[in-house]
Amino acid sequence: MGTIYDEDEVSNKNINAHKTHDDHTDQLDAGASFVLKSKGSWVHSGYHLTTSIVAPPLLSLPYAIGFLGWTAGIICLVIGALVTFYSYNLISLVLEHHAQLGPKWGRYYVGPIQFMVCYGAVVGCTLLGGQCMKTIYLLSNPNGEMKLFEFVIIFGCFMLILAQIPSFHSLRHINLVSLVLCLAYSVCAAAGSIHIGKTSKEPKDYSLKGDTENKIFGIFNAIAIISTTYGNGIIPEIQATLAPPVKGKMFKGLCICYTVVIVTFFSVAISGYWAFGNRAEGLILTNFLDGAKPLVPKWFILMTNIFTIMQLSAVGVRVFGDSSSGEFAARNVIPRLITRSLSVVIATTISAMLPFFGDINALIGAFGFMPLDFILPVVFFNLTFKPSKKSFVFWLNLLIAVVFSALGVIAAVAA
C-alpha cells in the first residue's frame, strides 16, 4: 500500500530532502537506500491529486442525489467541494510547517483510517472494473452466462500485475493519461444520460422513495457517498514527492484538480439524475443497458467502459505506489511482491463477495473519508498553528469538525 506517514516522519524526510536533494539525485536513480523520491513539480501534484479524487466513484453521484432530491443534492455537492478544497489546503500547510503532532496520531489513529480508505479504494476499483468488463461481455453476448464474480477475478488478476509498479513518482505519466481518461468517461456518461433522457418515453420520477425511516437513512447514506467521491486518502504521500521547496505547489495542484472536479462531478451528477431520477443505479453506466438492450449505441457503451477500466487501473495502481522505497533493491522488491500480491488477492475476494458498488462507497465514506478528509485537517491545523479563539478561522474549523463528526457517526449507522 502507499506509505503511511506520521507527521514527524514527514517532517524529518522533507527537511532531509531540502538539505540533500542535489547530492543524492544520482543515488535515487540507482535505487539507493535514501528513501524519499522528491522530484515532482506542481503539475505532477495536479496529476496525482486529480487521479486520486476524480475517479470512477463519481459515477455514483446520480444515485446519491436520488436519496437527496434536486435542492439538497446540489447543496451537498457544493459543500463537499468547498470543505475538501479548504481542508486539503490546511493539511498541506500543516505538512509544509513540519508539524510535530506525535507518532501516536499517525500510528494509532490516522494510519488505520488511511489504510482502510486506501484498501477500500482497491476493493471498489476491482468491483467496478469487473462490472465494466461484464457490460462489455453482455454487449457482445447478450445471453452469456458468465457471472459478475468471474469478471471481478479477471480484473483482480490484471491489478495483480499493475500493483508491482515500484515508485510513486514513476506513476506521473500514467496519471497524465488518467487525467484525460477521467474527462473522457465523464463526458461520455453525461452525454449518454442526456441522450437517454431526451429519447426515453418513461416518465422521470424525482420523488424520494421509501418510508420516513428509509428516507432518513438514505440521506445520510448519500452524504457518505459524496464524501467518498471527494475523498483523497494520500495527501501526505503526494506532497512528499514534490521537489523542494514545496511552498505553493500543492495549492496550484489543487486548483488544477478542482477545476476538473467541478466539470466532471456536476455534469455527471446533474445529467444522470435528470435522465433517470430515482431509478439511477449505483453505477450510472448500468442505466445505459435495459437488461441486455442498449439504450445508446453499442460502440458508445463499449468506449465508455473501456475508458473507465483504463482509469480504474491507474487509480488502483496509484494506491499501491510507494514513495519511500529503494525501487530495485532485493530487500524491497521481494516484500513488495508478496505484500501487494496478497493485498490484491484479498481485495478481489471481498469485491467478489460484496458486489454492491454504491453501498461500498457509502461505507468507505462514513468510516474513512469523513474523519480523514473533513475532520482531521481542521483539527490538525488548529493544533499546529493555534489560531486565536477569537479568530474566524478557529471557529470555522471547529464548526466543520463538530458538524462532520456528527454526520460521520450517523452516516456510519446508515451505511
User: By C-alpha distance, which of 373, 353, 350, 369 is closest to 411?
Assistant: 369
Tell me: the pLDDT tens digits for 295-325? Answer: 999 999 999 999 888 878 766 666 665 545 4
CA dist., res. 239 & res. 317, Å (int)? 18
- 17 part of a folded domain: no
CA dist., res. 239 & res. 248, Å (int)? 11
**Using only C-alpha atoms, what is the Rg of the chain?**
21
Residue with cell 446508515: 414
- Are 373 and 87 spatial neighbours (Cβ–Cβ below 8 Å)? yes
CA dist., res. 62 & res. 279, Å (int)? 9
- 2 part of a folded domain: no
CATH number assigned to the domain comprising residue 120: 1.20.1740.10
- 13 part of a folded domain: no
pLDDT category of residue 267 using cuts at 50, 70 and 90: very high
Confidence check: pLDDT of 2 > 50: no
CA dist., res. 315 & res. 134, Å (int)? 20
Tell me the pTM.
0.80
Question: For the residues 141-161, what does the mean pLDDT come to?
Answer: 87
Domain extent for 94: 43-321+328-414
pLDDT of residue 255: 93
Confidence check: pLDDT of 14 > 60: no
pLDDT of residue 398: 95
pLDDT of residue 30: 39
- 5 part of a folded domain: no
Tell me: the pLDDT tens digits for 338-393? Answer: 777 888 888 888 888 876 777 788 888 888 889 888 999 999 899 888 999 999 99
- 111 part of a folded domain: yes
pLDDT category of residue 95 using cuts at 50, 70 and 90: confident
Number of domains in the chain: 1
- 3 part of a folded domain: no
- Are 102 and 251 spatial neighbours (Cβ–Cβ below 8 Å)? no
Question: For the residues 201-228, what does the mean pLDDT come to?
Answer: 89
Tell me: the pLDDT tens digits for 20-48? Answer: 434 433 333 333 333 445 567 778 788 78
- 245 part of a folded domain: yes
Confidence check: pLDDT of 111 > 90: no
CA dist., res. 385 & res. 91, Å (int)? 11
pLDDT of residue 322: 53
pLDDT of residue 7: 38
Question: For the residues 213-228, what does the mean pLDDT come to?
Answer: 91
- 366 part of a folded domain: yes
Question: For the residues 224-240, what does the mean pLDDT come to?
Answer: 84
